[in-house]
Amino acid sequence: MNEATASPHFRTRSSVFGAVINSKPLYVSSPRGGFYDIYPVGSPEQAAFASNADNGYAAYQFNQRARTPMVYVGSNDGMLHAFNATTGDESWAYVPSTLIQNRRLARSTADTAGLTPGVDAPPLEQDVFVNGAWHTYLIGTLRLGGRGVFALDVTSVPGSGTEASLAPSIVKWEFNSGPTRAPASVPSPDPVCAEGATTCPSLGYTYDSTNVARIHKDNKWVVLVSSGYFPSRSGDGAIPDDASEPAAKHTSLLVIDLVTGKLIREIRTDLAPQTRPAGFKTFGLSTPVVYDVGADQVDDFVYAGDLAGNLWRFDISSTDATAWKVDLMFTTYGDGGATAAGDQPIVYNPTAMRDPVTRRPIILVGSGKYLGRDDRTSSIPQQAFYGIRDFAGSSSYPIRVNQLVPGRIDTEPKPAGAPIVSAHGHPRRWGADRSWPS
């Protein structure tokens, strides 16, 4: 190979396998989606099961119970690797075309290159019902490797064959931000991306930015992608060249058809009817979480936070995508909260639980972030954990911190000197309180 000695010179490597940093190994064996064969009457899932029980999810789990276990992991050599979990042998690897388009793959071969981000995020596994049958999909993102997301069908482990013969059975689609460097005459991406698009400039760097949902519109399975982050260019070269592109002036939730990889709708947060508080920022939407109101395995709401400390509520319960709505549900700053927008950011996906009284969602979310150099300091403002009641698009949105029932968590010494954690606060009045902070 003589990569380091023969011209042209590549950088010296100690391993053919790239560095695994922010990704993590995902073990996939038998299906574990946990679905039940109780989909609404008339839905494709219910119709298939009614015609033959072998078409149901329980049968899919049974038939795939001995599926060859695999380990999938993204690495900074620009590949998602697939290993046989029993033998440790690599079965195949996938290079997203986004890494070719943004020249990240070529840059990693330069003899002066340091660590070049590639497939630097863990894949998401999900069982889905598509094209009349159950499948297992992986949804992958790139973190700082690029502004893109991809879908792979890993229902069955491919046998021997050429890349050309195996790829169509595995690789389903890619969705990215489009051209990596727009001409200077092109304004910052601001128009709403059109239905049916396979690119959208609103899509930023995807830091664990995806989720999968089953929606009411056309009985579709979809990939929900938050618009991610737009890092500013740094002087030490840590941010790649294509980060100098103009950032979107808004945050968005992208709803992508899981079968085709085409955009169904971009739901922009600047469409929310609520008045924007002072200091409002419009970037950095976090991982979305989905919520099923009717327990029919069809999702109705999506929640996501952002770098400013806003919590957004997206209503996707309508069968008409043009009727989908967004509300600014809660802010961590102002009116008893943090001093300024951004002091208590929300970058990790919220958790949804059911209110035992109203049976409506309560959204649990913690603030804080560790994304870049600005977070490596001891002067980080005090953070908090919040539980926010969903009032079904209430006119009182956004809820403010001074409207919540307060509480706190302290670390106290025990006689032996070791700390213990104790909670203090008022009893929760589930029928009356808007929710609670700690």
Task: Return the pLDDT at 245.
Answer: 56
CB contact at 8 A, 88 and 67: no
Structural tokens at position 90: 């690599």
Task: Return the pLDDT at 276.
Answer: 75
**How many domains, in total, are found in the chain?**
1
362 Cβ contact partners less than 8 Å away, ≥ 6 residues apart = 352, 353, 354, 355, 387, 388, 389, 390, 435
CB contact at 8 A, 202 and 149: no
Residue 367 confidence (pLDDT) above 90: yes
Residue 409 confidence (pLDDT) above 70: no
Provide the phi-psi class of 32: left if phi over 0, else alpha when psi is between -120 and 50, else beta.
alpha
Mean pLDDT of the chain: 84
For the ranges 298-302, 369-373, 434-438, the lowest mean pLDDT is seen at 434-438
Look up the pTM and report it: 0.88
Q: How many CA atoms lie within 13 A of 123 on its CB side?
A: 29
How far apart CA 243 and CA 227 sit, in angstroms, is 14
Residue 292 confidence (pLDDT) above 50: yes
Q: Residue 4 falls within a domain, yes or no? A: no
Q: What is the 3-state secondary structure (H, E, C) of the chain?
A: CCCCCCCCCECCCCCCCCCCCCCCCEEECCCCCCCCCCCCCCCHHHHHHHHCHHHCHHHHHHHCCCCCCEEEEEECCCEEEEEECCCCCEEEEECCHHHHHCCHHHHCCECCCCCCCCCCCCCEEEEEEECCEEEEEEEEECECCCCEEEEEECCCCCCCCCHHHHHHHHEEEEEECCCCCCCCCCCCCCCCCCCCCCECCCCCEECCCEEEEECCHHHCEEEEEECEECCCCCCCCCCCHHHHCCCCCCCEEEEEECCCCCEEEEEEHHHCCCCCCCCCCCCCECCCEEECCCCCCCCCEEEEEECCCEEEEEECCCCCHHHCEEEEEEECECCCCECCCCCCCECCCCEEEECCCCCCEEEEEECECCCCHHHCCCCCCCCCEEEEECCCCCCCCCECHHHCCCEEEEEEECCCCCEEEEEEECCCCCCCCCEEEC
410 strand-pairing partners: 422
For the ranges 149-153, 189-193, 239-243, 337-341, the lowest mean pLDDT is seen at 239-243
User: Which residue carries 């079965």 as its tokens?
Assistant: 91
- pLDDT band, residue 159 (cuts 50/70/90): low
User: Which residue carries 């929640």 as its tokens?
Assistant: 303
Residue 279 confidence (pLDDT) above 80: no
Task: Return the pLDDT at 434.
Answer: 56
Q: Residue 56 falls within a domain, yes or no? A: yes
Over residues 126-137, the pLDDT tens digits come to: 999 999 999 999
CB contact at 8 A, 104 and 240: yes
Residue 148 confidence (pLDDT) above 50: yes
- 232 versus 265: the higher-pLDDT residue is 265
423 Cβ contact partners less than 8 Å away, ≥ 6 residues apart = 407, 408, 409, 410, 438
Residue 338 confidence (pLDDT) above 80: yes
How far apart CA 6 and CA 4 sit, in angstroms, is 6
Residue 169 confidence (pLDDT) above 90: no
Averaged pLDDT for residues 243-252? 68
Task: Return the pLDDT at 52.
Answer: 97
CB contact at 8 A, 309 and 369: no
Over residues 9-66, the pLDDT tens digits come to: 566 667 778 899 999 999 999 999 999 999 999 999 999 999 999 999 999 999 999 9
Residue 246 confidence (pLDDT) above 90: no
Averaged pLDDT for residues 142-162? 84
Task: Return the pLDDT at 370.
Answer: 86
- 426 versus 74: the higher-pLDDT residue is 74
Task: Return the pLDDT at 376.
Answer: 83
How far apart CA 166 and CA 164 sit, in angstroms, is 6
Q: Residue 17 falls within a domain, yes or no? A: no
Q: Residue 240 falls within a domain, yes or no? A: yes
Task: Return the pLDDT at 10.
Answer: 62
Task: Return the pLDDT at 319.
Answer: 98
Among candidates 150, 137, 153, 352, which has minimal Cα distance to 256? 150
Give percent of the chain with pLDDT exceeding 70: 79
- pLDDT band, residue 393 (cuts 50/70/90): confident
Q: Residue 365 falls within a domain, yes or no? A: no
- pLDDT band, residue 422 (cuts 50/70/90): very low
For the ranges 79-88, 206-215, 273-282, 392-401, the lowest mean pLDDT is seen at 273-282
How far apart CA 324 and CA 291 sit, in angstroms, is 15
CB contact at 8 A, 301 and 233: no
Q: Residue 401 falls within a domain, yes or no? A: no
Task: Return the pLDDT at 58.
Answer: 98
CB-based burial label for 43 (10 Å; 0-12, 13-18, 19+): middle
Q: Residue 388 falls within a domain, yes or no? A: no
- 403 versus 433: the higher-pLDDT residue is 403
389 strand-pairing partners: 362
Q: Residue 157 falls within a domain, yes or no? A: yes
Averaged pLDDT for residues 204-221? 95
Task: Return the pLDDT at 233.
Answer: 37
Bond prior to 123 in cis (omega within 30° of 0): no
Task: Return the pLDDT at 429.
Answer: 44
Q: Can you give the residue range of the structural domain that contains 151?
A: 26-181+188-346
- pLDDT band, residue 235 (cuts 50/70/90): very low
